[in-house]
């Protein structure tokens, strides 16, 4: 039987020679990526894949919005038009501007529930031409997002395929499954407080000197279909994740951190 299959394959290849160079060889499509502008993440993932669905999941205060703003800043800086479907109307334009997002290039859709989010995403994908469409479901209860049928994510993925649009999904738990080309799982590390003793105890006298300075974010690469910088032809899956343990950390800093550092240097 095996011989017959090999013979048949050879026969077909011969018949198609000149028209199809290698009919039975899987052709890996080279995916273009856009950097997050966070060196640690870019090194880990190779960037945001265009024409694909990227999912970032994590609990509250785990740096999901920081990654979102970095992605938006990176995309709008290159004159791409971006859209944000805001699941609970929690987007902060001040933070976005501080992160370098060009607000005039950003279409903000403020939704009230998940149905509106999904419909708005559908409309934006049909409209086409966006450089990045971010669907922020991270404040919605995980149970609600879990009930979104898988075919919705398949449909979204199909809509962005063969385009330069990045579809970015933010939630508390990974829900898109195999529809996502890149899945990042975030975890909150320790927060940093300027002029705060290491034991996290403070005295009332110095409370005004204490300042939130940012936090440490742990990032785990849960899935990647990219030929990324971390290795050649690497196709990661959830099952193999434990073996390879692709984890990195990056630091976020508060808006006023630069100002505080400069003022300390001046003094």
Partner 1 sequence: MAFASIYVPDFSIQAVVRAEPVLRQQPIALTDGSPPLEKVVALNEAAAKAGLGLDMTKSQARQFLSIAIRPRSRAQELATHAALLDLGWSISPRVEDTAVDSIVVDLTGLVSLFGPEKTIASLLAQRASDLGLIVHVAVSSNLEVALHAARGFPGITVIPPGEESNRLGELSIQVFLPSAEMSETLERWGVRTCEALAKLPVLELSERLGQQGVQLHQWASGASLRSMILAEPKLCFEEEMALEYAVEELEPLAFLLGRLLDQLCARLSARSLSACALRLRFALDKSSENESLSPQIPNGRWDEKKTLFYEKILTLPVPMRDSKMLLRLLRLHLQSDPPSAPIVHVFMAADPAAPRVKQEGLFLPSAPDPEKLELTMARLANLVGDSNVGSPRLMDSHRPDAFQMSRFLPSHNGPEVRQTNIGVPEERGPIAAFRVFRPAPRARVTLREGRPVHISFPGMHGQVAAASGPWRTSGEWWREDQWQGEEWDVEVHRPVSSANTIENSSSVEPQKGIYRIYYDAMRQAWFVAGMYD
Task: Pick the binder of partner 1 from 45, 52, 54, 138 (CB under 8 A).
Answer: 138
Binding-site size, partner 1 (CB under 8 A): 84
The DSSP string of 115-171 is HHHHHHHHHHHHH---SEEEEE-TTS-HHHHHTS-HHHHHHHHHHHTTSSPEEEEEE
- Residue 60 makes CB contacts below 8 A (sequence gap 6+) with 172, 188
Residues 186-205 interacting with partner 1 (rule: CB under 8 A): 188, 191, 193, 196, 200, 202, 204
Contact 83, 132 (CB under 8 A): yes
How far is the C-alpha of 193 from the C-alpha of 198, rounded, in Å?
A: 9
> Taking the CA atoms of the chain, what radius of gyration do you get in angstroms?
22
Which CA distances in Å does 212 have to 143, 194, 255? 31, 6, 10
Nearer to partner 1, 25 or 126 (CB): 126
Least CB distance from residue 33 to partner 1, whole Å? 14
Characterize 234-260 residue by residue with b for buried, 16 or more Cβ atoms within 10 angstroms of its Cβ, and e for exposed.
bebeeeebeeeebebebbbebeebeee
The yes or no reply on residue 32 touching partner 1 (CB under 8 A) is no
Contact 84, 109 (CB under 8 A): yes
Interface segment toward partner 1; rule CB under 8 A; list 3-11, 14-22, 87-95, 226-234? 87-95
To the nearest 10 degrees (0 to 180), the angle between helices 114-127 and 150-160 is 20
Nearer to partner 1, 1 or 190 (CB): 190
The yes or no reply on residue 48 touching partner 1 (CB under 8 A) is no
Interface segment toward partner 1; rule CB under 8 A; list 128-136, 225-233, 241-249, 259-267? 128-136
Task: Pick the binder of partner 1 from 215, 228, 236, 248 (CB under 8 A).
Answer: 215
Q: Which of 144, 139, 134, 158 is nearest to 114 (CA)?
A: 144
The yes or no reply on residue 118 touching partner 1 (CB under 8 A) is no
Interface segment toward partner 1; rule CB under 8 A; list 22-30, 105-113, 239-247, 259-267? 105-113
Nearer to partner 1, 26 or 60 (CB): 60
Interface segment toward partner 1; rule CB under 8 A; list 9-17, 126-134, 174-182, 222-230? 126-134
Residues 51-80 interacting with partner 1 (rule: CB under 8 A): 59-70, 73-74, 77-80
Residues 227-266 interacting with partner 1 (rule: CB under 8 A): 250-255
């Amino acid at each position: 039987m095996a011989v017959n299959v090999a013979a048949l394959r050879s026969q077909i290849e011969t018949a198609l020679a000149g028209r199809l160079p290698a009919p039975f060889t899987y052709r890996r499509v080279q995916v273009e990526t856009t950097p997050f502008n966070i060196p640690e993440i870019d090194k880990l993932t190779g960037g945001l894949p265009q024409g694909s669905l990227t999912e970032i999941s994590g609990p509250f205060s785990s740096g999901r919005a920081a990654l979102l703003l970095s992605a938006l800043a990176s995309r709008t800086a290159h004159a791409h038009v971006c859209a944000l479907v805001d699941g609970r109307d929690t987007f902060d334009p001040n933070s976005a501007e501080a992160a370098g997002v060009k607000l005039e290039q950003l279409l903000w859709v403020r939704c009230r529930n998940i149905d509106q989010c999904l419909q708005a995403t559908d409309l934006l994908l049909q409209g086409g031409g966006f450089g990045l469409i971010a669907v922020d479901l991270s404040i919605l209860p995980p149970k609600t997002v879990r009930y979104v049928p898988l075919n919705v994510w398949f449909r979204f993925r199909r809509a962005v395929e063969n385009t330069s649009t990045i579809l970015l999904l933010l939630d508390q738990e990974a829900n898109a499954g195999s529809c996502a080309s890149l899945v990042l799982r975030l975890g909150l590390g320790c927060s940093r407080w300027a002029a705060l003793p290491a034991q996290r105890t403070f005295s009332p006298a110095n409370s005004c000197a204490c300042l939130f300075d940012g936090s440490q974010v742990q990032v785990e690469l849960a899935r990647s279909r990219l030929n990324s910088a971390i290795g050649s032809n690497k196709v990661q899956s959830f099952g193999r994740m434990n073996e390879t343990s692709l984890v990195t950390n990056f630091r976020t800093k508060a808006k006023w951190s630069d100002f505080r550092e400069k003022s300390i240097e001046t003094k």
